[in-house]
A = this chain, B = another copy of it.
């Protein structure tokens, strides 16, 4: 039942080469021949065997995208963009979930499915550039990560330190002085880990304003989910913060929930800001102020870097930066916003 190129050739009474030429849109085929082949192709309902083609060409048209979790809105939205961009180049995206585990990140970078995928886009959580650079196989790889400069590995950089700093400065600009932070992470984390760099931005902003970093106003979380944000906010209430920077929007939405339950008016008593600009924050009550990274640009640049390594236009620098903007909504400005 499986229709091969050879079957089509026999059916049309031509050579396999000619059928292949037609299938691949090779121009030097006489119109009559092309028509005959086309008819046979349709009559037999031929579908190319992509494994065979890939083996022969040395290219599969598949790229992998490895993110911590598909059900974290930020990554779900990013994945959508990556799939869209890849499609423009005729590539298909294969999705991996690393759960932010070092072991899984390593497996992915070490060449899981090598020779099957043409390239890999990885959003590392546990491993840093140096480690990844050491274990990677020869498959082109693009990292989504921190601005680092001089790294010998392709990556789309987002300045998390600046993002957290700008967010914190926004809270300070409202006259808040007891600015808490939710999202510190305990134990071993990569130097370039998101929690680490956002923490740096937070602390830089406080320092610049001449404010101390109070341990009583910072909270460590086990993960960046809503529930963790709600818990952390609960435990923060006794400290009477007048503002909170959450290291992502999910934490912030959890914090908003905890404040609502406690009956604390936002932003009157406590202003809240997150980072990521996920869809939910635009429709929560109050709506969530946040730092909006240019997700479409992240996806576009990641795919573009891969394209370069796979024979596209000349390679640009290894590091491409992507910007962000402050989006102030009700959780810091109130209803007037």
Stretch at the interface among A23-31, A51-59, A153-161: A51-59
A170 proximity list for chain B (CB < 8 A): none
The docked-state distance in angstroms from the alpha carbon of A279 to that of B250 is: 10
The docked-state distance in angstroms from the alpha carbon of A283 to that of B254 is: 6
Residue on B with the closest CB to A253? B283
Residue on B with the closest CB to A84? B97
Contact B71 A115 (CB under 8 A): no
A2 proximity list for chain B (CB < 8 A): 115
Most buried by B among A1, A80, A256, A282: A80
Most buried by B among A2, A69, A71, A93: A71
Contact B226 A253 (CB under 8 A): no
Contact B51 A60 (CB under 8 A): yes
Stretch at the interface among A14-22, A42-50, A187-195, A215-223: A42-50
The docked-state distance in angstroms from the alpha carbon of A28 to that of B48 is: 37
**Among B50, B84, B113, B138, which residue has its beta carbon within 8 angstroms of that of A116?**
B50
Task: Tell me what chain A mostly uses at the interface: helix, strand, loop, or mixed.
Answer: mixed
Contacts A95-B94, A115-B48 given; indicate if A226 touches B282 (C-beta within 8 A).
yes
Contact A73 B70 (CB under 8 A): no
Residue on B with the closest CB to A285? B260
Contacts A76-B76, A116-B50, A257-B285 given; indicate if A92 touches B92 (C-beta within 8 A).
no
Contact A47 B279 (CB under 8 A): no
- Within the complex, what minimum Cβ distance (angstroms) separates A36 from chain B? 23
- Within the complex, what minimum Cβ distance (angstroms) separates A136 from chain B? 12
- Within the complex, what minimum Cβ distance (angstroms) separates A79 from chain B? 5
Q: What does the 1/0 interface line of A59-78 toward B look like (CB < 8 Å)?
A: 01010000001110100110
Residues 106 to 141 of chain A near chain B (Cβ within 8 Å): 111, 113-116, 137-138
Name A's B-contacting residues (CB within 8 A): 1-2, 45, 47-52, 54-55, 60, 62, 69-71, 73, 76-77, 79-80, 83-84, 92-97, 111, 113-116, 137-138, 226-227, 230, 253-254, 256-257, 260, 279-280, 282-285, 287
The 6 A-B residue pairs with the shortest CB-CB distance in the complex, in nearest-first order: A50-B116, A260-B285, A76-B76, A49-B115, A51-B54, A51-B55
A sample of 14 inter-chain contacts (CB < 8 A) reads A45-B137, A51-B51, A51-B60, A70-B83, A71-B76, A71-B79, A73-B73, A83-B95, A83-B97, A230-B283, A253-B284, A254-B283, A280-B280, A284-B284
